[in-house]
Amino acid sequence: MSITLHWFLTTAGDGRSIVGGSHMAAARGSASSLREPDIDYLAQQARAADHLGFTGVLTPTGTWCEDAWLTTAALIRETRQLKFLVAFRPGVLSPTLAAQMAATYQRISRGRLLLNVVTGGDSLEQQRFGDWLDHDQRYARTGEFLDVIRGAWTGEPFDYEGEHYKVKGAIVSEPPNPVPDIYFGGSSDAALPVAAKHADVYLTWGEPPAQVAEKIARVRELAAAQGRTLRFGIRLHTITRDSSREAWREADKFLDALDPETVAKAQEGLRTSQSVGQQRMVALHGGSRDDLEISPNLWTGVGLVRGGAGTALVGSHAEVADRIEEYHDLGIDEFVLSGYPNLEEAYWFGENVKPLLEARGLLDGKPRAARVAS
């Protein structure tokens, strides 16, 4: 299977720093170096991703982001082929309403919706939305939510009674065409069976290849037990430049801008997360600036101050392509990428790494070319 490349929309703002978004910049008094997530800048990012040939863009969800459904709907007419991977939390809206929203979105976008179901690993974040279930209960509810949403898409009235949802006659005016693929992440024992049953694409954060291979094998086994086959994706940042030295110099600039107090405060918050995936991210660096390259070209500096995706591929264009090919050989078919600043990094990657992947036959299904040592 060939590789699918996605990019990212910075709906919390971004800039020339790896610390937070626009809300955090204002608190630090450095908002002038950050870019607000206004619709013009987001449209610029979306048009760039469309022009560069990315399949889709992930739009995150959470307190500090603009709403993913509304933002991406506003960008449909700004783009031509780009798909929108809309992240949302199933516990904060009705599954039948979500089914209706997705069906409408598919019609007005002419089939450009993908869904990233985010169960949520931070209890404080969930409680802001009135959700008081614990970690495992949230995943159980997500499973039921996806039962209902898929049932509502069948075109026939759907009845369901579970622990968390009870619906009668769930249906949409017209089933979405195509049915949007469901992207799903989660590393806990409660998450993996839900992924195996419902996901089209299982997403993992950018761990070292051996850990990724282990996780893929486990999810694949669970899916096979239910007669299903999944695709696998990975979420990473990139810092790609004309030479390895230039790329690592850029990473060092990000690191030099971090004061110990900022790192300590961020780590204090991240360590309290209930998310197993987040704890795995924290364990990669342990809060220390030492030995941040934990695998060839895999840098954990981002995770010192940011939750979620905490690793970046750093290196020359050929080195970054090598690492993507390495993950692909393990079974990763979809790559959700981003950078700092996000707009500029899209061009660094799209104009330099993407052609290398194409030349190797990784993007269009052509026979794979011999790799030239970098």
pLDDT attached to residue 23? 39
Query: Any idea which residue has 């299977």 for tokens?
Result: 1
Per-residue pLDDT tens for 205-238? 999 999 999 999 999 999 999 999 999 999 999 9
pLDDT in tens, 231-259: 999 999 999 999 999 999 999 999 998 88
pLDDT score for 285: 84
Number of neighbouring beta carbons within 10 Å of residue 170: 23
φ, ψ (nearest 5 deg) of residue 198: -120, -30
pLDDT surpasses 60 at 374:
no
pLDDT tens-digit profile of 264-282? 888 887 777 767 878 788 8
34-35 and 14-15 beta bridge pairing: antiparallel
Question: Minimum mean pLDDT among 42-46, 310-314, 370-374: which range?
Answer: 370-374
Say which residues have a Cβ less than 8 Å from residue 96's Cβ, sequence separation at least 6: 148, 149, 152, 167, 170
Of 77, 85, 75, give the one whose Cα is nearest residue 54. 85
Q: How far apart are CA 224 and CA 216, in angstroms?
A: 12
Does the bond joining 341 to the residue before it have cis omega, within 30 degrees of 0? yes
Of 181, 292, 313, which Cα lies nearest the Cα of 235?
313
